[in-house]
């Protein structure tokens, strides 16, 4: 069956161009461009790459960015003090603390210390709660990116069965909530599965829309996918590959070549959900600058 690629790179480029236009308009009115700050603790290689991509995206769109780095052994108190400082800094519209944090941190405490009005990651309990209630909020960037991809490809969602594999706070839980809401994209019947789920193959086979966020490379194969399904692959694991210049290759949770011919639409890895996540973070930062979510 012929499938269509959900080209996250192309859609993100389109979003970035639209945001760059909005920044130009702000600046023409004599206003300051949006300003995103990112806190990075330690030297986790994927985290370094993500933060670097976020800073580069800011530069491309015309946002200001500030990167704040700490070594692995920075005391939690010092990080909380910096968060408090950023909360009160009127020149910063939004900021993120890149996760995961080293084990001596309480991630919950760190996230709760962020002013929810500057929480452009949408991780603070106020934003998570408002998302669950369908109220205006900062939406976690990966789920927001998935919705935007479905919207821009005009994929029908109303009444469909959406199966989400994975129950993380960052992706699984919020995307399940959003796909459930009476909205477009959304209005689905939603099933959330995880590592303990029974009858996983059977449930996946009944999915019209399958969103996979397990972090298990090549987990989904053709025998789990209904003919004509829409498959969204959130996985991005670095698998060693000595033939690549950087020594690794990004691998999704879906075995693409095996699954694609069963699909109507499918995201590639890389170039699917990843660029959409970054574009959505930028969009949240623009919303923070224009006070469009919390006036």
Number of H helices, E strands in the chain: 10, 11
| φ, ψ (nearest 5 deg) of residue 74 | -60, 135
Of 29-37, 68-76, 90-98, 240-248, the window that binds ligand GUN (rule: CB under 6 A) is 90-98
Regarding beta strands 248-251 and 237-240, do their DSSP bridges make them parallel or antiparallel, or are they unpaired?
antiparallel
For the bound state, the minimum distance from the C-beta of residue 51 to ligand GUN, rounded and expressed in Å, comes to: 9
Please count the residues of this chain forming the interface with ligand GUN, following the rule CB under 6 A.
Answer: 8
Binding mask 151-170 for ligand GUN (x = CB under 6 A): -------------------x
The helix/strand/coil state of 35 is strand
Residue 217 has which token pair? 């490379």
Select from 98, 127, 157, 267 the one that contacts ligand GUN (CB under 6 A).
Answer: 98
State yes or no: residue 288 binds ligand GUN (CB under 6 A).
Answer: no
Which of 34, 145 has the CB closer to ligand GUN? 145
Q: Which listed residue (121, 208, 233, 253) is catalytic?
A: 121
Look up 54 and say whether it is catalytic.
yes
CB of 205 to ligand GUN, least distance (A): 29
Question: How far is Cα 56 from Cα 162, in angstroms, rounded to an integer?
Answer: 33
From residue 120, give the alpha-carbon distance in Å to each of 161, 169, 174, 181, 206: 29, 15, 15, 21, 34
Pattern 16-55, ligand GUN, x by CB under 6 A: ----------------------------------------
Residue 168: how many other CB atoms lie within 10 Å: 16
Position among 37, 40, 120, 141 found at the interface with ligand GUN (CB under 6 A): 141
With beta carbons less than 8 A apart as the criterion, state whether 98 and 68 touch.
Answer: no
Catalytic residue IDs: 54, 98, 121
Give the interface with ligand GUN as residue ranges (CB under 6 A). Answer: 96-99, 121, 141-142, 170
């Amino acid at each position: 069956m012929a499938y269509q690629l959900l080209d996250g790179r192309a859609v993100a480029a389109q979003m970035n161009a639209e945001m760059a236009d909005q920044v130009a308009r702000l600046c023409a009115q004599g206003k300051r461009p949006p300003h995103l700050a990112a806190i990075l603790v330690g030297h986790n290689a994927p985290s370094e790459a993500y933060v670097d991509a976020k800073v580069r995206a800011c530069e491309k769109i015309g946002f200001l960015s500030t990167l704040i780095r700490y070594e692995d052994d920075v005391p939690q108190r010092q990080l909380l003090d910096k968060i408090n400082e950023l909360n009160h800094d009127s020149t910063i519209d939004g900021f993120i603390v890149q996760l995961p944090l080293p084990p001596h941190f309480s991630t919950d405490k760190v996230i709760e210390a962020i002013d929810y009005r500057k929480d452009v990651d949408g991780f603070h309990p106020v934003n998570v709660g408002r998302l669950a209630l369908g109220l205006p909020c900062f939406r976690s960037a990966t789920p927001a990116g998935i919705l935007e991809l479905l919207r821009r490809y005009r994929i029908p969602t109303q009444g469909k069965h959406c199966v989400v594999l994975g129950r993380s706070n960052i992706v699984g839980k919020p995307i399940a909530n959003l796909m459930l809401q009476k909205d477009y994209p959304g209005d689905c019947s939603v099933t959330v599965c995880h590592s303990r789920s029974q009858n996983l193959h059977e449930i996946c086979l009944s999915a019209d829309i399958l969103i996979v966020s397990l972090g298990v490379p090549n987990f989904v194969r053709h025998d789990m996918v209904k003919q004509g399904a829409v498959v969204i692959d959130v996985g991005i694991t670095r698998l060693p590959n000595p033939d690549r210049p950087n020594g690794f290759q990004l691998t999704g949770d879906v075995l693409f070549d095996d699954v694609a011919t069963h699909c109507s639409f499918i995201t590639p890895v890389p170039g699917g959900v990843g660029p959409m996540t970054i574009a959505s973070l930028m969009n949240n930062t623009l919303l923070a600058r224009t006070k469009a979510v919390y006036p």
